[in-house]
Amino acid sequence: SPSCPRVGGACPRRVSSVLNRDVKQFGKKHMFDASEETCWNSDQGTCQWVTLDFPRTVKVSQLHIQFQGGFSSRLCTLEGCRAGEELVKISDLYPEDINAMQISFAVFQVEETVLDKLKITFEKSTDFFGRIVVYHLGVLGERL
């Protein structure tokens, strides 16, 4: 909707890991390329995460995450801050892992928060080895 544009697309970002360090096939850029065929696939290990640094201050109101079933997170912790400040916790989100064979799409209303940086930590992977697979990550809100 026009009142709630995507704000997360072009910002520099970091991820905790990439499966087999194969950035070409599984890198972070695939969360933002709007392709159904590509994804970010983390390596194994607990608490994978993504950070977004927005080029200008944003007010975040919604988060869209599309996981591969079986490689999602039962708990996502959101933290954010203004430029030069320390991250503070915003909220906990609880995605549902609908089916191990399908892609689960979760839309979260976020308590409107003004920030320059956002970190999403995937605390409880549904995968035994802690891997997370994200096809799509959308941050909606407004640029200030």
For residue 11, the model assigns a pLDDT of 66
Tell me the chain's radius of gyration from C-alpha atoms: 14
For residue 1, the model assigns a pLDDT of 34
Task: Delimit the domains of the chain by residue range.
Answer: 13-143
Sign of the alpha-carbon torsion through 139, 120, 126, 93:
negative
For residue 50, the model assigns a pLDDT of 95
pTM: 0.88
For residue 80, the model assigns a pLDDT of 95
For residue 82, the model assigns a pLDDT of 95
Residues β-bridged to residue 138: 64
For residue 112, the model assigns a pLDDT of 81
How big is the CA angle at 45 (ends 109 and 126), to the nearest 5 degrees?
50
For residue 41, the model assigns a pLDDT of 96
For residue 32, the model assigns a pLDDT of 87
CA separation for the pair 91, 80 (Å, rounded): 10
How big is the CA angle at 8 (ends 74 and 128), to the nearest 5 degrees?
25
As a CATH number, domain 13-143 is 2.60.120.260
Block means of pLDDT (10 residues each) for the chain, length 144 residues?
54 87 94 89 94 90 89 92 94 74 72 90 93 92 88
